[in-house]
């Protein structure tokens, strides 16, 4: 039985998206404004299509919270689709008399073809609706609530976009974080937050925008890379004792579960396969009486367990599958080759993907913290956490017989 869990439902152009979250401790104060702020962060970003002009996502709590605090009961939240007004008949729950045009030409790279094949459907619309990244709006709600729980443990999560279409926007910040080089992290994250592309080199933003504009002009789309960082981790979250308790596996899974993500790196990731051990492993040193790492190429995780350093993750998002310059496809109603279908979409959504990355990482971390520290109320949870935290160093010293000098 997992400690906390959630389920989402809802179609891209249906009435509403919904998330039900279960297992949260009672008495967690909910910051509603912060949740809507996270939703707005997900909606922002240069290169998005017409849909974002229609939607202004808002979290509507309908259960599990009273007088601003969780009650311990399942939490239910809606995010309504404003665009549903334009789709009422096409997305009707009840059968309609009117003939609705069926979508019969799948887009390469989207879930269109696998969806209709697997679910025995006669209209691609049925698989488009649920495979759409619109669903991530409620995952951001779950992540935003998870972030509020993680705050109790002193954990904070950040993201930035590294590149779009091969053009770099944040220099070698990720590399610097792996090396634990001195950086003004807060300022760099503020820059990313203020940037329409979540990059922290404002001068590069112009080049990235140009690249996106060019892609748009030729009817193309772009992917990119982004990083997610969790700060304030305590050592000992996750485990090596069983495959399904490994924190790095869970975090990778969470990021891979975001629409269009095709690759994840934990810490130095693929570079660890190239460099020798002396340039990969993080030396163990003592600083101000505490055991820390000289570098953080492991990305804060060793043996599937957090080692107290920042969690560093990097991911690759593929280009959006709806191209105005269509690729080849097949008309399923005639079984003949034809250009893929065009429809309104985004040109790039890497900045949004980075925000979603924060959310899913927040959820996965909240799951692991809840599994370790549990508790039916915030009071119990925080006490469990404090007891563990206060025992870390004294426990090591006691077990190994090393005394405070
Ligand atoms: C999406 C297509 C576009 C995106 C959508 C994901 O929507 P529409 O088909 O309505 O133009 O805007 O993303 C969102 C709606 C969102 O909230 O992120 C797709 O096909 O995956």
pTM more than 0.75 = yes
Residue 405 has pLDDT above 60, yes or no: no
Task: Flag the least confident range among 37-51, 148-162, 368-382, 388-402.
Answer: 388-402
CB-CB neighbours of 54 under 10 Å: 12
For position 394, what pLDDT does the model report? 87
Instruction: Give mean pLDDT, residues 306-316.
Output: 98
Residue closest via CA to ligand 1's atom 14 equals: 134
For position 403, what pLDDT does the model report? 72
Instruction: Give mean pLDDT, residues 215-220.
Output: 95
Domain 5-388 sits in CATH at 3.60.150.10
75 CB burial (10 A radius; 0-12, 13-18, 19+): buried
High-pLDDT (> 70) share of the chain, %: 99
Residue-range domain boundaries for the chain: 5-388
Residue closest via CA to ligand 1's atom 3 equals: 345
Give the atom of ligand 1 at the shortest distance from the alpha carbon of 12. Answer: 15
Nearest residue to 364 via CA among 69, 149, 178: 149
Pocket-forming residues, ligand 1, beta carbon under 6 Å: 12, 49, 51, 83, 132-134, 137, 344-346
Residue ranges of E strands in 145-205: 156-164, 167-168
Strands 69-70 and 261-266: unpaired
Mean pLDDT of the chain: 96
Residue 188 has pLDDT above 70, yes or no: yes
Instruction: Give mean pLDDT, residues 83-106.
Output: 94
Nearest residue to 251 via CA among 241, 237, 270, 232: 237
Instruction: Give mean pLDDT, residues 93-114.
Output: 96
**90 Cα: distance to centroid of ligand 1 (angstroms):** 16
Cα 403 to chain centroid distance, Å, stands at 43
Give the atom of ligand 1 at the shortest distance from the alpha carbon of 52. Answer: 12
Q: Which residue has the tokens 């951001």?
A: 140
Task: Flag the least confident range among 60-64, 285-289, 295-299.
Answer: 285-289
Residue closest via CA to ligand 1's atom 18 equals: 134
């Amino acid at each position: 039985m997992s400690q906390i869990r959630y389920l989402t439902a809802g179609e891209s152009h249906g009435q509403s998206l919904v998330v039900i979250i279960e297992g949260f401790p009672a008495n967690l104060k909910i910051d509603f404004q912060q949740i809507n702020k996270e939703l707005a962060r997900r909606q922002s970003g240069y290169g998005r299509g017409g849909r974002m002009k229609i939607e202004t996502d808002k979290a509507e709590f309908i259960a599990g919270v009273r007088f601003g605090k969780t009650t311990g009961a399942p939490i239910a939240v809606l995010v309504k689709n404003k665009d549903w007004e334009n789709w009422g008949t096409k997305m009707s729950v009840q059968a309609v008399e009117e003939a609705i045009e069926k979508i019969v030409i799948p887009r390469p790279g989207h879930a269109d073809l696998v969806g209709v094949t697997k679910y025995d459907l006669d209209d691609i619309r049925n698989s488009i609706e649920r495979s759409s990244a619109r669903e991530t709006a409620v995952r951001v709600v779950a992540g935003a609530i998870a972030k509020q729980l993680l705050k109790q443990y002193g954990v904070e999560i950040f993201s930035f976009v590294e590149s779009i279409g091969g053009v770099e926007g944040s220099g070698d910040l990720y590399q610097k974080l792996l090396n634990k080089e001195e950086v003004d992290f807060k300022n760099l994250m503020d820059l990313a937050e203020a940037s329409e592309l979540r990059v922290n080199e404002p001068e590069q933003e112009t080049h990235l925008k140009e690249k996106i504009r060019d892609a748009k002009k030729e009817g193309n789309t772009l992917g990119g890379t982004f990083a997610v960082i969790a700060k304030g981790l305590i050592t000992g979250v996750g485990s090596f004792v069983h495959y399904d308790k490994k924190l790095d596996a869970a975090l990778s899974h969470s990021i891979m579960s975001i629409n269009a993500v095709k690759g994840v790196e934990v810490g130095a990731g693929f570079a660890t396969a190239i460099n020798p051990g002396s340039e990969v492993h993080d030396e163990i040193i003592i600083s101000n009486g505490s055991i820390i790492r000289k570098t953080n190429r492991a990305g804060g995780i060793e043996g599937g367990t957090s080692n107290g350093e920042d969690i560093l993750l990097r991911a690759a998002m593929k280009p959006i599958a709806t191209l105005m310059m269509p690729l080849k496809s097949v008309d399923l109603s005639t079984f003949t080759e034809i250009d893929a279908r065009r429809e309104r979409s985004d040109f790039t959504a890497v900045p949004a993907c980075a925000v979603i990355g924060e959310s899913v990482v927040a959820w996965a971390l909240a799951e692991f913290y809840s599994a370790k520290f549990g508790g039916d109320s915030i009071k119990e949870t925080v006490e469990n956490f404090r007891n563990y935290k206060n025992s870390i160093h004294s426990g090591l010293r006691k077990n190994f017989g090393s005394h405070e000098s």
